Structure 1
Amino acid sequence: MKEENLKYKFKIKNAKKPSQKKIKKTLGRTLKSFNVLYAYAMFIFHWTGLKYFAVFILNVIQKFFIVQYLEKFHIIHIPVKRVDHKLDSKIPFKPEFAQCYLDFVNYWIRPMCMTMKRYGSFEGIKLSAEYVRYMIMLYKEAYKIYSHCLTTTVRPKPTTKATKGIQFWDPHYLCVPSLHIAIVVLTIGFYKMLFEREEFTEPEKDQWNSELYTHGIEIAESVLYMKQHSVNCISAAIYMVTKTAPELLTEEMSIDFIDSMFKDSIYVEKTDSKEITSYIKKMYKNLMEESRNSDDWTSPLKEWLKNYKIQAQN
């Protein structure tokens, strides 16, 4: 029982298995075909969903938005460090990826819509709330780094309405670790686990795992095309999730994800993409190796941040 609690540490209640009729209604549907507004409605009007969603929103406000704006308006003074890397210049600025970048929120909401449609709202909300609890954990863990040291990168001058909006509303002080990337790999790992545990059909697992992975890679690449993050931010984010949710994201899964980035890119040269992913993997592996000597996952990353200032000056 203890082993199961560790494996499913945020599980709330068992969801009643759906009828074949309900399964058939969602079978074959793409995740993008589910209306995200349905999930918002269910979280607002269902107590199990509301209590966790409210905590999640509160954490996003406190540990993501407020800390950045307090720094921007000089109300607090946390050290801010640049985390750019020379490899970032090998990834072109592509404003046309703004829509993909902004689709990141819908990316993790759509699977919740799917589960609520497949199980029915009152059963599906249990599984969705389990996922939201992981999200709460992720923001709390990331804040351990943000409150220690804020990080930023140089962004090019915006050339489109979308990029202007992104850069205007984003103070850009929370680069390491990237929550964009962390949530993508968490989502991939969570639903891979969920589909197995809840005994989804093979066609469902194949289709939805593939969709989450493919679009997750697209979003991961978009954060670099949009110059919202550095290659360093990718390694740090994947490392954070591997350490804080090892039951969802293994080292092997992490390496596979990194290797999949820019694999089919028409914007990054093959030799450059290999150099980029090799660097991301090396940094990730170094952090993992150093973490084996510490009970605190943040220690290796804090040490990296302390030393990176020296590296950036060379």
Structure 2
Amino acid sequence: MKTYFQVYDYRAPTEQMRYPYRRGRAKKPDSKRIEKYADTKLMHFSVFPSYFVIPFWYTTLLPLVRLLHHVIWDFFMPQYLRKIHLRRTPIQHVDHLLDEKVPFAPEHVGCYMDFINMWIRPLTMLLKRFGIAQGSKLCAEWLRYITLTYREAFAMYKICMTTTYRPKPTTQQIKRLYSVDPHYMCVPSLHIAIVNLCHAFYRMIFEREEFTEKEIEKWQNELFNHAVEIGETVLYLKQHSVNCIPAALYMMTRITPELFTPQDAIIFIDSLFKDAPDVSPEDKTRINSHIRFIYERFLLEGALEDDWKEPVLRWLKDYTPHTPAYADI
């Protein structure tokens, strides 16, 4: 049986196709609630209300349990089992020469680690703006989308794990990151996939739930800009290669066509390192051109494939990785 995204009709999507994970409609909040939070940056919403509400509210409990199941059993456990040789999935390096054009910059680790809070803070915004009873419906919709993302990424990881060379750790934060991250799930990059899912999901929510123009302009820009910042950190920290980014963007184009389009992917690619002082203009152009080329290759090769993974698996089979100078081997 085909999934909803395999039968998505781009020309005339039904409401069910446009909102496949909506379960119940959220009532519009009163003007006082809207005005109360309209001037608050998403960065200033605390994650703690989400921690205290979502695990205990009937609307979000089951979607959260399903998400945690996939995070544990589709992301963490397979890597740890592979590390101690209880799993035999092949591991392939995906490094590229262009990875060396982005300097190793441990000072970006804080932004990299903000990846989880980036999508939790907007959930708090929904709970406060709509109230728990109504906002939880939208939170549950997000949880279903992110669960889909983990599940589809694991469909690739269980066939072929992927990794990159990482420099020798130079700070305690980097050492801690290396110690908890076996680093076997690079293609597609879940960091890239989820930050793009986040800004695309809220663009849909802002329009469908009739947010004010002021809210949309403020929060949409904030989400997109932070997505780009986190996208850059995966290369600054050598947690991913330039090859991991197009695979993630391609996956999201295929599995969430109602949210994330090829145009969105190109805009994201072209925004990377736009204002970075430590990457030369020539290298920015080369990096962005490479990411775009691989993305468009996946898109074209996958156009007639029911299974989005096929062009990525073919690319992995034929790819010869580069060994960077900073490789700690």
**TM-score w.r.t. structure 1 length?**
0.98
Aligned position for 1:13 = 24
Question: Is 1:110–2:121 an aligned residue pair?
Answer: yes
**Aligned equivalents of 2:180 and 2:264: distance in 1?**
33
Counterpart among 125, 134, 142 of residue 131 in structure 1: 142
Matches within 5 A, 1:1-314: 3-309=14-320
Match of 1:81, SS?
Answer: strand
**Aligned equivalents of 2:84 and 2:98: distance in 1?**
31
Match of 2:54, SS?
Answer: helix
1:151 maps to amino acid: T
Post-superposition offset of 1:267: 1.1
Over the matched positions of the two proteins, sequence identity in percent amounts to 47
Q: Deviations over 1:132-177 (max 9, x none)?
A: 1000100110011100000011000010111001011100000000
**Aligned equivalents of 1:62 and 1:176: distance in 2?**
18
Match of 2:85, SS?
Answer: coil
**Aligned equivalents of 1:123 and 1:161: distance in 2?**
42
Post-superposition offset of 1:122: 1.2
Runs of 4+ more than 3 Å apart? none
- When residues 3 and 211 of structure 1 are mapped into structure 2, their CA distance, relative to the original with a 3 A threshold, is same
Match of 1:57, SS?
Answer: helix
Q: Deviations over 1:98-128 (max 9, x none)?
A: 0000000000011111011000011101001
Number of residues of Structure 1 aligned to a counterpart in Structure 2 = 312
Post-superposition offset of 1:293: 2.0
Alignment check: 8 A CA contact 2:97 2:322 kept: no
Match of 1:44, SS?
Answer: coil
2:27 maps to amino acid: K
Match of 2:92, SS?
Answer: strand
- When residues 304 and 262 of structure 1 are mapped into structure 2, their CA distance, relative to the original with a 3 A threshold, is same
1:23 maps to amino acid: I
**TM-score w.r.t. structure 2 length?**
0.93
**Aligned equivalents of 1:114 and 1:247: distance in 2?**
23
1:148 maps to amino acid: I
Match of 1:45, SS?
Answer: coil
What is the root-mean-square deviation in Å for CA atoms of aligned residues? Answer: 1.2
2:178 maps to amino acid: Q
**Aligned equivalents of 2:292 and 2:120: distance in 1?**
28
1:232 maps to amino acid: N
1:243 maps to amino acid: R
Structure 2 spans left out of the alignment, 5+ residues: 1-11, 324-329
**Aligned equivalents of 1:90 and 1:103: distance in 2?**
24
**Aligned equivalents of 2:25 and 2:231: distance in 1?**
32
**Aligned equivalents of 1:215 and 1:76: distance in 2?**
35
**Aligned equivalents of 1:294 and 1:50: distance in 2?**
35
**Aligned equivalents of 1:165 and 1:69: distance in 2?**
16
**Aligned equivalents of 2:301 and 2:322: distance in 1?**
21
Post-superposition offset of 1:312: 5.1
Q: Deviations over 1:60-114 (max 9, x none)?
A: 0000000000000000110000000000000000000000000000000111110
**Aligned equivalents of 1:34 and 1:22: distance in 2?**
15
Match of 1:263, SS?
Answer: coil
**Aligned equivalents of 1:278 and 1:184: distance in 2?**
21
**Aligned equivalents of 1:12 and 1:160: distance in 2?**
45
Post-superposition offset of 1:290: 0.3
**Aligned equivalents of 1:108 and 1:245: distance in 2?**
17
